[in-house]
Structure 1
Amino acid sequence: MNDPLPLISIVIPVFNEEDNVDRTYAELKRTTAALVDYRFELLFTDNRSTDSTFKILTRIAAQDPDVRVVRFSRNFGFQRSVLAGYRLARGAAAIQIDADLQDPPSMFRAFLEKWKEGYDVVVGVRRQRQESALLQYGRHLYYRMLLRLDGPHLIADAGDFRLIDRSVIERLRLINEPHMYLRGLISSLARRQIGIPYNRSQREFNESKFRLRALTHLAADGIIAHSSFPLKVSFYVGIVIALASALLAFFYIALRTWVPDAAPPGFTTTQILLLLGIGLNSTFLGILGVYVGRIYDQVRSRPMVVISDLLNFDKDIGSI
């Protein structure tokens, strides 16, 4: 008796994608139908959309038992939405793709070929993007900085379009980090990973949910979640300021000793130094506060997401 075809889970996080869901479903079904050596399930994670996205997904799931849908009780953010999809995936491997199809489903075949070669993480590496030159340059600098901070296991210009093996999914199930940078986390869990270059298309419908604020937040997560660099910066800058203050104090003492009449008014100097000290203390206490706050979130051990609706699931899950 022949072994059943391996099941591959396609994880699609959605939020207010009513203009994209039908065409995304149709394109994914067309692409996966051509990959006859595998079986596929489509797992949509709805981050509490406020439009008709969930209504459309309900209709699709009623017609197709290979479509499973998870709706959260509120918007838990993109990172948690993707991680919940991985944890709920039943496949021997999972491929994450956005609902706007800027990442081409035609790459699935290449991902699966590398997976069969023994790679447990296969990442799409974006050669070019349809966005402003300034934003592309900013991304380029950020990824290079992250490589220096977090080590060589990261792949420059790699996004969330990836395949991960079941072994990586099982390791992800053991991690409960309320603040995470999933791209770096998955790369750190990989035994063998490889990047495949591709060109990212322009978004055709709706606007991207990743505005400048969201991108800045994601970038900060990437640094803070995987590096203590900000703490080191605050330490070294504090040392430099302390030395500079000591030298300035010796200068004023010498000036007061050797040229008493040339000494500047002490009040102004004192105020400047006090303000400088207060400003530095506030800055570095703020950096420490970010890390302490994340420790606080970690020790509370709250559920990563709370689920309100499940479609085509065998049992109620409630939370993850």
Structure 2
Amino acid sequence: MKKKLISVVTPCFNEEANIEELYLRVKDVFAKLNKYDYEHIFIDNDSKDNTVSILKEIAKADKRVKIVLNSRNFGVVRSSFYGLLQGRGDATILIFADLQEPPSLLIDFLEKWEEGNFVVQGVKKRSEEGFVLFNIKKFYYFIINKISEVELIRDASCFSLYDKRVIEEFRKIDDIYPYLKGLVSELGFKTAIVEYHQAARKKGVSATKLYIAYDFAMLGITSHSKVPLRLATILGFFMSIMSLILAFSFFIGKIFFWNLFPVGIASIIVGMFFFSSIQLFFIGIIGEYIGLMNMRMLKRPLVIEKDRINFK
């Protein structure tokens, strides 16, 4: 009987301290799972350390390890999605190189998949990444679920498994900058969750800076909700009415109480800055939507490959 093939995809950038340990831990997991063959695809986002040389040494000794080298850093969103599309397995698992998600959970993911689920989603119930950051993310998922047009999985991570049917649907999607967690909800495939405790990064420095975290957050909102745009319209309408009432009140007050009703410069300045800040905020929101539309309309490739190793 032919064994099922599992594709494990690992995006990486400057992970020389973790990459070999991740490879060995994934290898150990599949050594216990005799009914599966597997391939481990590493997609490197133009690392500046020794990540690539370590990967090449591993790939030389183990032909199940395949490497895609990007010509430059295309960002984690584009690189991860492109990596998923390279898998040819019956199921494809996305796991990052920082070892914050335990590779031992691959067994649980595969069990859920064998039960008939097309997507298995890792969900962080606890995390060592920091109390404040973890709870900010929880609050974000609470907000986005309230405003999103589809129900997203609360506290979901990118650690996930996709059946080959889901990957085939991914290949049909012409989107240079997809929000993967929302995309899964949009497609509506049967999904199971696996809860886990996220470990702290033990080695190396995370490439996910504040700006990148903000980019992820705005991508989720602008990809799956029109609420901010509607809120701008509704709030603008009511603020206009309030401004008209206020202006009319000042006008009447000035007519009937000419000497007793001075119009202060302070109130004018405060009002002007208040309305200006509201306008700038919503101009920024509209700009986020326009920027995402522009990126998708340009039809640029997800990534450009510099080289690939061990692919037939």
Same fold, judged at TM 0.5 (above): yes
Q: For 1:231, what is the secondary structure of its paired residue?
A: helix
Matched letter for residue 230 of structure 2: K
Deviates more, 1:133-142 or 1:119-128: 133-142
TM-score (norm 2): 0.94
Question: 8 Å contact 2:8–2:94 — kept in the other structure?
Answer: yes
Task: After superposing the two structures, state which structure 1 stretch, 169-178 or 16-25, moved more.
Answer: 169-178
Q: Equivalent residue for 2:153?
A: 155
Residue 68 of structure 1 aligns to a residue in which SS? strand
Q: Quick one: distance in 1 between partners of 2:156 and 2:280?
A: 35
Contact 2:150 2:224 in 1 (8 A): no
Of 289, 306, 311, the residue aligned with 1:308 is: 306
Amino acid at match of 1:258: F
Structure 2, unaligned stretches of length 5 or more?
none
Which residue in the other structure is 1:121 paired with?
Answer: 119
The 10-residue stretch of structure 1 (245-254 or 181-190) with the greater mean CA deviation from structure 2: 181-190
Percent pairwise identity: 36
User: In structure 2, what is the Cα distance between the partners aligned to 1:152 and 1:286?
Assistant: 24
1:72 partner amino acid: N
Show CA shifts across 1:206-241 (max 9, x none): 122223332222112111121122212211221221
Give the one of 217, 221, 224 matched to 2:222: 224
Change (3 A) 1:284 1:109: same
1:179–1:225 Cα contact (<8 Å) kept = no
Q: Look up the equivalent residue of 1:299 and give its one-letter code.
A: M
2:163 is matched with 165
1:50 aligns with 2:48: yes
1: CA distance between counterparts of 2:265 and 2:126? 57
Aligned-residue Cα RMSD (Å) equals 1.8
Shift of 1:159: 0.2
SS at match of 1:260: coil
**Any idea what SS the aligned residue of 1:94 has?**
strand
AA matched with 2:256: W
Q: Is the 8 A contact 2:150 2:186 kept in 1?
A: no
Residue 303 of structure 1 deviates from its aligned partner by 0.6
Kept in 2, the 8 Å contact 1:123–1:163? The answer is yes
How far residue 131 of structure 1 moved from its aligned partner, in angstroms, is 2.5
Which deviations, in whole Å up to 9, do the C-alpha atoms of 1:92-112 show, x marking residues without a partner?
110111112221111111111
Determine helix, strand or coil for the equivalent of 1:219.
helix
- In structure 2, the residue matched to 1:91 is 89
Letter in 2 for 1:238: G
Which residue of structure 1 lines up, in the alignment, with residue 74 of structure 2?
Answer: 76
**Distance (Å, rounded) in 1 between the aligned partners of 2:32 and 2:151:** 33
Once residues 23 and 88 of structure 1 are traced to their aligned partners in structure 2, the CA distance between those partners, rounded to angstroms, is 23
Further displaced range: 297-306 or 268-277: 268-277
Q: Which secondary structure does the structure 2 equivalent of 1:142 belong to?
A: helix
Partner of 1:317: none
Native 8 Å contact 1:121 1:190 kept in 2: no
- The DSSP-based 3-state class of the residue aligned with 2:53 is helix
Q: Tell me which residue corresponds to 1:176.
A: 174
Give me the whole-angstrom Cα distance separating, in 2, the residues matched to 1:270 and 1:158: 47
Aligned to 1:132, which of 121, 130, 133?
A: 130
On the 8 A contact 1:121/1:187 being kept in 2, the answer is: no
Judging changes above 3 Å, is the alpha-carbon distance between structure 1 residues 282 and 211 closer, same or farther for their aligned structure 2 residues? closer
Unpaired runs of 5+ in structure 1? 315-320
